[in-house]
Structure 1
Amino acid sequence: MKWFTLVAVLAESSQAALRFGCSVLSVQRLDPLVQPGAIPSTHVHQIIGGNAFNATIRTDDVSKGASCTTCVFSEDFSNYWTALLYFKARNGTYKRVPQYVNADLTSGIQAGMTVYYTQQDFSSNGNKHITAFQPGFRMTVGSPTVTSSTKAASQKGLRYTCLQTIMTRGAETAAFPTAPCPAGIMAIHHFPACWDGKNLDSPNHQDHMYDTSTGGFQVASACPSTHPVRMPQLAYETMWNTTAFNDKSIWPTDGSQPFVWSYNDKLGYGTHGDYVFGWKDDALQRAMNSSCMFTGCGTDQGGPLKVQAAAAMNACKVPDTVTEDIGTNAWLSVLPGQKAD
């Protein structure tokens, strides 16, 4: 789907839709939701957002502990993270797959992800009030323990696109693409958007939310009575530049696809994402109450949200708590934190 088509669909709503880029904040083995306090966590993550991120991220208001953010909207101190992608060579060694910037984002952003907060619930409460996430809110989607194609197929918001170009989109799959992708692989994470209205988190970081999406940026079903509060549809897109590894002569001899997540998932079924809300004050609610679209939500274009230049985004970092080779330059014999095959 081309972006002008997506914009046209979203424009049918009177509600706001955010689409913005965030550069990389850190790449290391930390996971303050699933393994709080663990230094290191079991596998490598790529993290974007505010610089309050740590192994023991605060549970009240993350924005109070941050002084900068890697996101274009400077009031967004939230943290967003996923696993890191690797290429596995025929000799069993691993190399980190680089990221690149999505289409039509602020010029100069360094890798990172594209973040969406949309309100495409047109068949139910799309024209009603959308409740922004609250300070202390957190959630995850997916699980690295998923190894079944049946389970993966049921997780409609977790998909991959084999990119033909940066501007076009093809069919989505629940598993890694099986053929070389001309413009890389896009990993997609759509989070549930129905909240129980009570709990900012739950023991598994998922039960306080309910997913009624039908996949992609399509109309979601109405929220159930157990989770009646409609929140923004949060989504991530990560552009993995796999093109340096497209020569099939370096792929496995059996012809299988060569990419693995940092927790050693070669199927792709266990893809997952983490989110900690950290927008300053009522900034996200102001945006959700407006009718702005994508970059038009910035104050530089008459929108409600403050923006910053790419240089400020790229300058925001957190120190490495875990110091180790993650395969950026040299090849690794074992994935960080994982056992040898």
Structure 2
Amino acid sequence: MSAEADAGAPGGTVAASHTAAHAGHSGNAMPVSTASSPDDPDGDGYIPANPPVTGVTPSTQNPPHRYFHEFQANCGVTHTAPDDPIVYPQQPGKSHDHTFMGNTTTNANSSTASLAAGGTTCKAPGDLSGYWMPTLLNDGKPVLPVGPQTIYYKAGVTDYTSVRPFPKGLRFVVANPMQSAAEFRNHPGFVEGWECGDSFFNTEFPASCPDRPDVQLNIRFQAPSCWDGKYLDTPDHRSHMAYPVVKAGTNDNICPTGHPVALPMIEFKMAFPVNGDMSRVTLASGSGHSFHYDFFNAWDDATLKALVDHCVVGGLQCDARGYDQTHPEAGAALDENYRLP
């Protein structure tokens, strides 16, 4: 795909008129925000960035090659609830059941301010973000990931030095619960699909997984990482974000012209403690190909900037402290308590 095309997350550039609710990646319509909230008083689904980021063009620079440019956010499960403060703000119980990680207070009424006042299960106390996904069910009973899960923050573009921190209050949905199996498999965020044991790249749950204590059901899925610089949310919760595209005539990934601001690329790496007979395993949103997840940024600004600058822009492979074991000379972004020094 050429650099001139917008590969939305998906969808094209946000309509200036604010009149259109954009479709999701699959063309299957997602619910749109229909309720006012502290962050969206008029309830139109558009939350403007304040201030917006202007004057940015997609970076075509090619800095010295670094195999890694990432850090981890390690966050445990907090609770489950049929809430979604992005898709159904101020409407408790309206969503399918979600498994929440990170911020301990996330619910249908969550706002940027309420998350900032909450607690967190993430190793870094500065990460007050909300992360959630449809609850996995085995014979109708929730199966929750155990311990800190791995959420990567990576560079999705070739010029990793152009990546900047998320703006406070940015939120989006990754993938679409209404997508077809083929759309899930071909989604730009698809990495390895569902896997367990020696079974990989599955669109649906494997029929069975090795019944051993060391085997869990896993999935890896990447989020869009290019922002329009204008909106913290849009009615379809996608159109303000886009996946990188390939620059024409090269192998370089750059942000598309309508979404020129390079942000960290989130990648969920989730592990569910279920194996053996998988015939009764489902998601609260449906079958395996309905997997999707949500992100609501409430990081402490200075903490996030320190990690992005040190690890992503610095071309390191960092843990949740911002420490790269293969480059001890670089030090860490955070102290032993995962706080700014």
Query: Normalized against structure 1, the TM-score is what?
Result: 0.68
- The code of the aligned residue for 2:127 comes to D
Distance 2:320 2:172 in 1: 27
Aligned-pair CA distance for 1:143: 1.6
| Distance apart, 1:287 and its partner CA | 1.3
Does 2:319 align with 1:295?
yes
C-alpha change, 1:98 and 1:139, in structure 2 (3 Å) is: closer
| Counterpart selection for 1:281 from 288, 301, 307 | 301
Name the residue aligned to 2:124: 73
Matched residue type, 2:120: T
CA contact (8 A) 1:157 1:213 kept: no
Letter in 2 for 1:180: C
Counterpart residue identity of residue 128, structure 2: F
Q: What residue number does 1:260 align with? A: 282
Find the residue that maps to 2:185 and give its secondary structure. Answer: helix
- TM-aligned CA deviation for residue 163 of structure 1: 2.6
Counterpart of 1:259, as a letter, is V
Q: Conserved in 1, the CA contact under 8 Å of 2:229 and 2:260?
A: yes
- Offset at 1:258? 2.7
Cα distance per residue 1:291-329 (max 9 Å; x no partner): 3432273489831135648xxxxxxxxxxxxxxxxxxxx
Q: Whole-Å Cα distance in 1 between the matches of residues 144 and 85 of structure 2?
A: 24
TM-score by length of 2: 0.68
- What does residue 172 of structure 2 align with? 139
Whichever residue aligns with residue 129 of structure 1, its letter is S
- CA positional deviation for 1:207: 0.3
Residues in 1 aligned to 2:252 and 2:273: alpha-carbon distance in whole angstroms? 31
- Is residue 257 of structure 2 the alignment partner of residue 225 of structure 1? yes
* CA deviation vs aligned residue, 1:237-274 (integer Å, no higher than 9, x gap): 2111112xx1x4xx6xxxxx3311013x12x1111100
Partner of 1:154: 186
Distance across 1 between alignment mates of 2:91 and 2:252: 36
Q: Counterparts of 1:62 and 1:15 in 2: how far apart (Å)?
A: 34
Separation (CA, whole Å) in 2 of partners of 1:14 and 1:187: 22
Structure 1 residues 63 and 285, CA, compared in 2 at 3 Å: closer, same or farther? farther
**Structure 1: stretches of 5+ with no match in the other structure:** 1-10, 89-93, 101-110, 252-256, 310-341
| Mapped pair 1:64 → 2:116 | yes
Using the TM superposition, give the Cα deviation of residue 76 of structure 1 relative to its aligned residue in structure 2, in angstroms.
Answer: 0.6
Tell me, in whole angstroms, the C-alpha distance in 1 between the residues paired with 2:137 and 2:82: 15
Identity %, equivalent residues:
24
The question of whether the paired residues in 1 share the 8 Å contact of 2:217 and 2:271 is answered with yes
**Count of matched residue pairs:** 258
SS in 2 for 1:200: strand
The RMSD of aligned alpha carbons is 2.8
Which residue identity does 1:117 align to in structure 2? Y
Contact 1:62 1:78 (8 Å CA) reproduced = no
User: Displacement of 1:179 after TM fit?
Assistant: 3.1
Deviation of the 1:171 alpha carbon: 3.0
The equivalent position to 1:188 in structure 2, one of 220, 238, 243, is: 220
Quote the Cα distance in structure 1 between the aligned partners of 2:164 and 2:135. 31
CA distance in 2, matches of 1:176, 1:78: 29
Instruction: Find the residue that maps to 1:285 and give its secondary structure.
Output: helix
Give 1:84's aligned residue: 135
Q: Which residue of 2 aligns with 1:115?
A: 151
Partner amino acid, structure 1, of 2:258: T
Contiguous gaps of at least 5 residues in structure 2: 1-63
Task: Within 5 Å, give how 1:158-173 maps onto structure 2.
Answer: 158=190, 159-164=192-197, 171-173=200-202
Distance 1:156 1:120, change over 3 A: closer
Note the C-alpha offset of 1:162.
2.0
Q: 1:196 and 1:145 mapped to 2: Cα distance?
A: 24
Check conservation: 2:156, 2:225, Cα contact below 8 A. no
- Give 1 or 2: higher strand fraction: 2
Cα distance change, pair 51–162 in 1 and its aligned pair in 2 (3 A):
closer
* CA–CA separation in structure 2 for the residues paired with 1:307 and 1:236: 24
Are 1:305 and 2:334 matched, yes or no?
Answer: yes
Q: 2:317·2:323 contact (CA, 8 Å) conserved in 1?
A: no
